[in-house]
Amino acid sequence: MKAKNLLFTIAAGLLPFSGHAAEQPRPGDDIEVIKKAALGIDTLIASFYRKKNLPVPAVTDDATFIRRAFLVGTGRIPTAEEALSFLEIEDDTKRAALVQYLVNSPGYSSHMSNWAFDLLRLRDTKSGGYNFQAYRHWVRTAMQDNVPWDEFVEQLLSSSGNGWDPETASVGYYTIDRGMPLDNLANSMRIFLGTYMECAQCHDDPFGDTERMDFYSLAAFTEGQSELNAGAFRKIYGEARENRVEDPLAFRVANFINDEVYGLSLSGGGDGRIKLPSDYQYRDGSPGEMVGGRTPFGKSVRTSDRDNDGQGREKLAEWVITKTGPQFPGVIANRMWERIMGKGIYEPVDQYIDSDKTVYPELTRYITQVMVDLDYDLRAFQHVLLLTKTFQFATNPNPSTLVGGDDFHGRKIERLTSEQLWDSLITLSDGNPDLKPIRKPDMRVNLAGTILANTDIVTFTDEFLSMKTEKEVRARFNELMDMVGGGKKGKNNRGSDDDMMMGGSTGNSYGKDAPVRASELPSPAPQDHFLYTFGASGREVVGDASLEPNVGQVLTMMNGFVQRKLVNNNGAHLYKSLQGADTDEERIRRVYVAILNRPPNKEELDWMLEELDAQGEDGFRNIVSALVMSSEFLFLQ
Amino acid sequence: MKQFLNKADEPTRRQFMTNAARAYLGVHLFPMLGPSIASAAAEGASKGAKAKHVIYLYMAGGMSHLDTFDPKPANKENMGPVKTIQSVADVELSEYLPNTAKVTDKMCIINSLTSTQGAHEQGNYMMHTSYSPRGTITHPALGSWVMKLGGKLHPELPGFVTINSGAKAGNGGFFGAKYSAAPIGRPTDGLQDSTKPNVVTDESFDRRLALADKLNTQFHSRYQNTDVKAYEELYKDAISLMNSEDLKAFDLGQEDSATRKLYGDGQFAQGCLLARRLVEHKVRFVEVQLGGWDTHVDNFTAVAARCKEFDQAYAALLTDLEKRGLLKDTLVVVATEFGRSPEIKSNHKDGRDHHPSAFSCVLAGGGVNGGQKYGETDKGGNKVVRDKVTVPDFNATIAYALGLPHDLVLMSPSKRPFQIADKGTPVTSIFG
């Protein structure tokens, strides 16, 4: 069987429904475009080696390739079946076919979602009970639908409306930082444009050229992030708060409406002007003075200090995406390069430098152009990188010889991220995790323990957010109190089972120990979780994930989760897949392919056979345990 | 001298420390292991150097100084609804800290902290490492420096433990994994997975490790890599830890219910209790975090709730340490990345924003004179007006309390010079 046929057969069953891609053809849909771009990169890298008079690294073997491509492209190791089907085919095109399979598999979007959640600091909730599952789902779906990066960023930065409505749930980008719009803006500049402006929140940056006035002039665009029509509810909430002891139920209901309805909404469109803070200390402005919007670099965009612009956020988004020259496409191209190649062309990837100042300006410019030519199609862009010979270079155990960037000299060894490790371990314990449905938000209205019938959370919240007067809101509030059993009429509207069917989708969620992809688990991982131990981001700040080793990780491998879920678990998928293997050699071989995605060498086979001789069935567990604890399992080569 | 500074490996370090101690502490020789510098320094000129351990309580998010340790009762506009209470030793505190008010005789409250970093990540990094974050290097955390300069005190237990902390709080940085913290997620669970699964026999356990070792040796012969090597060493550490008699240090179940109650129920409270147990068992540096101080919205409700978590546990910790005779050689630090704006933001339900220019931290035990306030802010709590303490100064003071050479330069593998507290100067007048 030809490689393509086989892999596409596997792929056919797994292809996600992709609403966006189906709408209109994109440049990256054409495989020839992808191939050409990949060749362009390889040509540049080859000339780099020629110019520096360096030997070109060898191309890695199939076993290393499939493991690397799976982990980098989809965030997990291949299943034994996937690994075997690849290793046993002899066909020149099989690597290209595999890459195509990977970027189109559900694993691709799961892996990308972890990346996006880290970048956006996306937590399920924040203190005070705010619930960001609709926003989370919006991001998760955008990754699944492969929404182009410029469109994605535009929808985040210019958002407004109801946080529960799937059309406007991207307001979570702002509401997750409610009360701290300046930090939010500093983060936007950092993650989308690779510009650090944090310092200038308080003072002129002594090391850069950003002044405090620049920061405030930019913050003018996003100023004015209120809740939709929340004024109509304020007094009712105040009363409920005051009477919280006498009427705790009313307080709970009011809290829900405050946090989950108003609290998740975003009004206006950005004032375009802002007051300088009370401690403003420079001569170019005075505390309390109103200043208009002015962008700090690129093609200048301005708004007036005299009136409320109302479209500040849209203008900011447009500036970021279309008026900063190569910076916007350059930052995301380098981020994707880091994701796929292991090291960014420059690092840190969130400190943009001009292509001329990078170690290889031609390459930096080239990949920036590819990003633009592909219309910011991140899936296609990663497809290009995965298809290059550069991606296939053999492993180089030495750190990059260049401080702050890639030396293009072979794949650097790096420990798997916490998510890659988790996703790989559950692949061994429970089989292909990409066959399980993704997490979906609960769209029912759960009001102080009562599920409301005949409505769903979008309808429910829309209703409140459109009410302009306190009278209307109060009437609705009292009605709700009746429904939940707090009013005079008692619990007359509690939904029966039949009614519940009308009450919005129950969604789909997983507990923290569920053997599903890290992208579907609670975010951030709780502190007693495997993901936490292995350095998953707490998602309070950007780039908080860590690959640092610690003794807790080793204990988990030797005694904890790995032993319970895999080594000592008779029901583990890994053991089931051994059924039908007749000989010890065959069983050892299968275990090797499942865990390390390669057959054992002669020396290893002898060690393992000895182990079985000495220990029988126990020996088999010892083998599995040793393989999972090995550095080869823990590190990406 | 320069030559052997370049690589801080074990023997060099020994030689270098000897020299350093001679120059800095006026002593000539001291043994490398054990209390090393701390004990040597105690005999030397420094009047600090009484502490052997640090319990570092980190208030993540930026603790409001006005609503805790630096109240301004005369300034109603900035204080909002918060009242002030008098405490023992005549130190004013906010009403949110009634239990702490009973132990102020053991505390030195520093009201004059100031930081150059007003964003969480940078501020937090600065407090933990004394340096601003740079893209090209990861600076070791304070606890890693303490281990590097002072050594471990217990041969099997980790020297540095973080409880309830973020992934990066215990970062060994360019010192490597050997100096990074052992993280504890939930203190009540202790050190997870520190015992062998019941179903595995001793023999099987040993065989697994032996087999993994064979595989790793093979892997290393192909790829010489320091990160890979670090894991191999961690396996050795982990096994000696599992076999240690003192593993019980991590087990809160060994505490009687009266003691557990004294601290309170929350994870932070139990974390403080665990920190005490660990210090009792000679762990050098324990960090316990309490998050949720980022009170942009509804500051007073949130701070009251945070203080409730903090207050009982902190007072219990100081009392308990003293009762056990541990307070004199344990420095208890309360730290945070910055304060909060004295101006109350009414449009955010009375919130307070970040305020790095003035904030408060607290030191207690470890030779610090109790019952004092150090430094002062203006009438509104906006700016420091007396005895300014920068973040590096603060960390240098911690080093000083431990008798560690705060001005000693160590070179990173990339050959750049670093000090435990950057160029900070310790505040020595607060020590007895």
pLDDT score at A563 = 92
Give residues 246 to 305 of A whose Cβ lies within 8 Å of B: 278-279
User: Which residues are CB-neighbours of A1 under 8 A, at least 6 positions away?
Assistant: A89
| Final residue in a domain of this structure, among A435, A464, A497 | A435
Domain that holds residue A628: 549-636
A497 exposed, middle or buried (CB, 10 Å; 0-12, 13-18, 19+)?
exposed
Q: Read off the pLDDT of residues A108-161 as tens digits, 9 standing for 90 and up.
A: 999 999 999 999 999 998 866 689 999 999 999 999 999 999 999 999 999 999
Q: Which residues in chain B are contacts of A629 at CB distance < 8 A?
A: 208-209, 212, 235
For residue B209, pLDDT over 60 is answered with yes
Q: How far is CA B138 from CA A210, B280, B413, in A?
A: 24, 31, 11
Alpha-carbon distance of B377 to B35, in angstroms, equals 38
Q: Measure CB to CB from residue A540 to each of B120, B197, B225 and give the nearest one.
A: B120
Name residue B134's beta-bridge partners.
B137
CA distance B310 to chain A (A): 17
Rounded to an integer, the average pLDDT of A368-388 is 98
Place of tokens 């080594």: A567
Residue B113: which H helix or E strand, with range?
A: strand B107-114
Q: Choosing among B59, B121, B216, which should be mutated to test the A contact, i.e. which has the most A CBs within 10 A?
A: B121
Q: What DSSP letter does each residue of A198-238 carry, written as one string?
A: GGGGTS--SSSS--HHHHHHHHGGG-----TTTHHHHHHHH
| Final residue in a domain of this structure, among A412, A435, A458 | A435
**CB contact at 8 A, B112 and B389:** yes
pLDDT score at B3 = 36
**CB contact at 8 A, B319 and B261:** no
pLDDT score at A372 = 98
Give residues 124 to 143 of A whose Cβ lies within 8 Å of B: 127-128
Q: Measure CB to CB from residue B181 to each of A528, A550, A615 and give the nearest one.
A: A550
Q: Measure CB to CB from residue B136 to each of A403, A415, A550 and give the nearest one.
A: A403
User: Which residues are CB-neighbours of B275 under 8 A, at least 6 positions away?
Assistant: B55, B161, B163, B286, B288, B317
pLDDT score at A495 = 44
Instruction: Count how many domains chain A has.
Output: 2
Count the residues in chain B: 432
* Alpha-carbon torsion, ordered A486, A489, A495, A498, to 10 deg: 170
What mean pLDDT is reported for chain A? Answer: 91
For residue A411, pLDDT over 60 is answered with yes
Please tell me which residue of chain B has the smallest CA distance to A351.
B135
Rounded to an integer, the average pLDDT of A589-601 is 96
Which position has the higher pLDDT, A538 or B30?
A538
Tell me how far apart the terminal alpha carbons of chain A are, to the nearest angstrom.
Answer: 29
Least confident window among A106-115, A313-322, B151-160? B151-160
pLDDT score at A127 = 67
pLDDT score at A23 = 65
Q: Measure CB to CB from residue B193 to each of A542, A559, A632 and give the nearest one.
A: A559
pLDDT score at A29 = 95
- Residue B228's region, left for phi above 0, alpha for psi from -120 to 50, else beta, is alpha
Binary contact (B234, A551; C-beta < 8 A): yes
What letter would DSSP give residue A205? -
**What ipTM is given for this predicted complex?**
0.87
pLDDT score at B46 = 53
B197 touches chain A (CB under 8 A): yes
Q: Measure CB to CB from residue A549 to each of B177, B214, B357 and give the nearest one.
A: B177
pLDDT band for position B21 (cuts 50, 70, 90)? very low
To 5 degrees, how large is the angle CA B372–CA B376–CA B382?
A: 140
Name residue B390's beta-bridge partners.
B114
In a domain, residue A380? The reply is yes
Dihedral angle sign, alpha carbons of residues A313, A314, A316, A321: positive
Rounded to an integer, the average pLDDT of A238-250 is 93
| SS3 state of residue A395 | strand
Give residues 207 to 246 of A whose Cβ lies within 8 Å of B: none
Q: Which two tokens stand for residue B363?
A: 């030191």
Binary contact (B196, A559; C-beta < 8 A): yes
Please give the biggest Cα pair distance in chain B: 71
In a domain, residue A364? The reply is yes
Give residues 265 to 324 of B whose Cβ lies within 8 Å of A: 292, 294, 296-298, 302
Name residue A615's beta-bridge partners.
none
In a domain, residue A612? The reply is yes
A538 touches chain B (CB under 8 A): yes
| SS3 state of residue A372 | helix
B167 touches chain A (CB under 8 A): yes
B237 touches chain A (CB under 8 A): yes
Alpha-carbon distance of A188 to A321, in angstroms, equals 12
Kind of pairing, strands B376-377 and B384-386?
A: antiparallel
In a domain, residue A163? The reply is no
Alpha-carbon distance of A427 to A517, in angstroms, equals 9
pLDDT score at A497 = 46
Place of tokens 């000090």: B419
Place of tokens 């700016």: B383
Q: Where are the domains of chain B?
A: 2-187+283-299+329-356+368-423
Alpha-carbon distance of A41 to B35, in angstroms, equals 56
Place of tokens 């209205």: A445
pLDDT score at A615 = 93
Alpha-carbon distance of A254 to A243, in angstroms, equals 11
In a domain, residue A122? The reply is no
In a domain, residue A566? The reply is yes
State the amino acid at position A608 in one-letter form: M
CA distance B394 to chain A (A): 21
Q: Which two tokens stand for residue A178?
A: 């409610």
Rg, Å, chain B Cα set: 22
Name residue B376's beta-bridge partners.
B386
Rounded to an integer, the average pLDDT of A241-258 is 93
A389 exposed, middle or buried (CB, 10 Å; 0-12, 13-18, 19+)?
middle
For residue B32, pLDDT over 90 is answered with no
Please tell me which residue of chain A has the smallest CA distance to B225.
A397
Q: Measure CB to CB from residue A538 to each of B166, B222, B228 and give the nearest one.
A: B166
- Closest-CA residue to A182 (of B340, B114, B63, B118): B118
Q: Which two tokens stand for residue B359?
A: 């904030």
Q: How many CB atoms lie within 10 A of CB A615?
A: 17
Phi first, then psi: what are they for A190, rounded to 5°? -70, -45
B240 touches chain A (CB under 8 A): no
| Final residue in a domain of this structure, among A435, A464, A495 | A435
Q: How far is CA A45 from CA A40, A54, A391, A399, in A?
A: 9, 11, 11, 19
Kind of pairing, strands B359-364 and B330-336?
A: antiparallel
Q: Which residues in chain A are contacts of B209 at CB distance < 8 A?
A: 558, 626, 629
pTM: 0.87
Q: How far is CA A532 from CA A47, A85, A109, A518, in A?
A: 43, 34, 22, 11
Give residues 549 to 568 of A whose Cβ lies within 8 Å of B: 549-556, 558-561, 563-564, 568
Alpha-carbon distance of B330 to A636, in angstroms, equals 42
Please give the biggest Cα pair distance in chain A: 87
Rounded to an integer, the average pLDDT of A491-507 is 57
